[in-house]
Amino acid sequence: MPEDKPAGREFRYRTRWGIAVFVVVFFTMCGLVIRHMAATNDQGLVLEGLITLSVEHATIFYWVLSWMSFAMVAFAVFSLAMGLGNPQSVTLADDGVYVPNKPWSRQRRLIRYSDISAIVSHKVRHIVFVKIVHAGGKKDLPDSMFESKRAFEEFRQGLLERCKDIDKGPG
């Protein structure tokens, strides 16, 4: 595992503040509203005409939704804290691309350009991913973890230029 900072074009790779703050605010509000619904529930619940819940089961359902909302808040706060404590980056270097070994890990992994067999771009809703298929497996890098869409596109183009002779897949 390379520990030194390699020479090359480095891109910050972390949760964006705006997204995390939105998640915290949105799911806090959802949790509070649903918690109130659970605490004051006095009627059953019918979901899409398929599932009918009694008053007791509807209350349990609301409590579970409330806890799940607050779990999302905790995850977003944890993600922000880990991003501050463990800054990550992706680097296009002469010998390969350096990527975070695991989420929130300070360790980086070198994927040599010669080990890359395919680079595939795909989109899930509004998030674009670059999948790097290499001898040791595959690595997905979402655009939402880069500083901006422009930085992500610069990374993607730089990677494609360094790997001209491989299968680029669709996109």
pLDDT of 165 higher than 70: no
* pLDDT tens-digit map of 110-140: 999 999 999 999 999 888 999 999 999 999 9
pLDDT score recorded for residue 61: 96
Strand bridging mode 89-93 / 45-47: unpaired
Taking residues 83-103, report their average pLDDT: 88
**Measured distance CA(74)–CA(71) in Å, rounded:** 5
Taking residues 62-87, report their average pLDDT: 90
Taking residues 32-61, report their average pLDDT: 94
Mean pLDDT, the chain, integer = 89
- Highest mean pLDDT out of 4-8, 37-41, 78-82: 37-41
For residue 8, list its beta bridge partners.
93
Taking residues 13-21, report their average pLDDT: 84
Residue 13 is classified by DSSP as B
**Measured distance CA(28)–CA(16) in Å, rounded:** 18
**Measured distance CA(160)–CA(119) in Å, rounded:** 8
Phi, psi of 32 (to 5 degrees): -65, -45
Query: Edge-to-edge strand order for the sheet containing 89-93?
Result: 8-12, 89-93, 96-100, 108-112
Taking residues 53-62, report their average pLDDT: 95
* Model confidence band, residue 25 (pLDDT cutoffs 50, 70, 90): very high
Render the burial of 1-23: b for 16+ CB within 10 Å, e for the rest.
eeeeebebeebebbbbeeebeeb
Instruction: Determine the 3-state secondary structure of 87 from DSSP.
Output: coil
